[in-house]
A and B are shown apart, each in its own frame.
Chain A
């Protein structure tokens, strides 16, 4: 019964391929046109159906018994195509914000708003990265590869690292200003933080370096105290929190899958 469908969706030879691709594009455009004209009341059920079917695939693949002879169930062979589908779809979200960027900064430049030159810099940087980034792979020009290296390794990565490193200044200032032993909780937090901080830097380790490596007194070495805090108290406390998060996460996943989730995004009129 499914054989003609499978044959239709099989790989095609080069001589007929353009027709199939063009047909798929035309069909998709037609479907988009149909979707655009879909009545409002049918939209949410359609989204719910798409979400449910996507979730059903992985849920069924997990719950459905596996044939011991083949170590598979009827969905196992579709995991690879599903991963490619997910990668292609997920990858297409990478550039979702670009149109907004172009619109906002294009407007800044066209109206010569304050700081318009920054918008020019942004667009020049973007175009340069795209041009040389693609030439790096598809071109054979060594100069282009060097420019890409300057843009990626030289500029992008260093700026990314710098942006994050700025937090170091703020964390010093914030620790100094906000860390006050106003309560038992704050005192416990500070004492633990100090012990962990001492335990993870060599200068802290040096403080108790005179204690023996083994035996009862070894437990008092600062790195061992830190290790005990992390592996006994911290691990148990975070495991308890993780149990709560896990159950909550599962409940939310179930609600999303069945389109029962509420909130601004899910309840908005469409």
Chain B
């Protein structure tokens, strides 16, 4: 028993993490009181951490330091403007919170033009591909040409699926949209395949934590 206490005192974070992990994992059996307790603790810690970050990494460097260390008193206005966010909790005056929200939305909307130009124009340029491709030694690279053709067919048919989503009389467009739908399934299948990888990785991490970091049964 003494050895266990010593181990707990030596590695309190690991023990706390293990208890919390097991507590939350009880959900896979069914919804229960233990899970609800740890769920509340989790929300409390996450909320508390937000307050810590607000003070340590936002108010300190962007308000306290500039105002009281450098004399840049005008940041006080920004802080007071930011306080308007909290009127969202007032039934009567919650419209005031729309001022800073609108300000931040305006900021991001103003950047959208540059974002669009820089993101999509190079994409557009790279979509027009040569069908006759040669290797560095000058010979014909049939595989690359076929791949380029497939790429462009997929691109055009998927676009036709969205652009002509209303009922079409033209058979060509109908078939093109149908093919576009099929190749989109290929993309969604790829996304599903990678989703499995992502989720399994998360579960492996938990099991590794329990069996290696906590119980030290695995090296």
Q: Per the CB under 8 Å rule, do A and B touch in the complex? A: yes
Q: How large is the interface on B (under 10, 10 to 19, 20 to 34, 35 or more residues)?
A: 35 or more
Question: Bound state CA distance, A162 and B109, in angstroms?
Answer: 36
B122-162 contacts to A (CB < 8 Å): 123-124, 127, 147, 150-152, 154-156, 158-159, 162
By a CB distance below 8 angstroms, the chain A residues around B14 are 154
Q: Which single residue of chain A is at the shortest CB-CB distance from B206?
A: A165
Selected interface stretch from A65-73, A82-90, A206-214:
A82-90
> Are A88 and B75 within 8 A (Cβ)?
yes
> Are B116 and A236 within 8 A (Cβ)?
no
Q: Nearest chain B CB to A140's CB is how many angstroms away? A: 16
> Are A165 and B205 within 8 A (Cβ)?
yes
> Are B17 and A193 within 8 A (Cβ)?
no
By a CB distance below 8 angstroms, the chain A residues around B72 are 11
By a CB distance below 8 angstroms, the chain B residues around A117 are 37
B1-59 contacts to A (CB < 8 Å): 12-18, 20-21, 24-25, 27-28, 36-59
> Are B44 and A56 within 8 A (Cβ)?
no
Contact of A246 (CB < 8 Å), options: B16, B120, B197: B120
Is residue A144 within 8 Å, beta carbon to beta carbon, of the partner chain? no
Q: Nearest chain A CB to B45's CB is how many angstroms away? A: 4
Question: Bound state CA distance, A225 and B49, in angstroms?
Answer: 45
> Are B202 and A167 within 8 A (Cβ)?
yes
Is residue A249 within 8 Å, beta carbon to beta carbon, of the partner chain? yes
> Are B54 and A94 within 8 A (Cβ)?
yes
Is residue A171 within 8 Å, beta carbon to beta carbon, of the partner chain? yes
By a CB distance below 8 angstroms, the chain B residues around A4 are none
Is residue B215 within 8 Å, beta carbon to beta carbon, of the partner chain? no
A55-B17 in contact given A118-B40, A250-B116 (Cβ < 8 Å): no
Q: Nearest chain A CB to B86's CB is how many angstroms away? A: 7
> Are B49 and A242 within 8 A (Cβ)?
no
B168-218 contacts to A (CB < 8 Å): 180-197, 199-200, 202-203, 205-206, 209
A211-265 contacts to B (CB < 8 Å): 228-230, 232-244, 246, 249-250, 253-254, 256-257
Seen from chain B, the residues whose Cβ lies within 8 Å of a Cβ on chain A are 12-18, 20-21, 24-25, 27-28, 36-59, 62-63, 66-68, 70-86, 88-89, 93-96, 98-100, 102-114, 116, 119-120, 123-124, 127, 147, 150-152, 154-156, 158-159, 162, 180-197, 199-200, 202-203, 205-206, 209
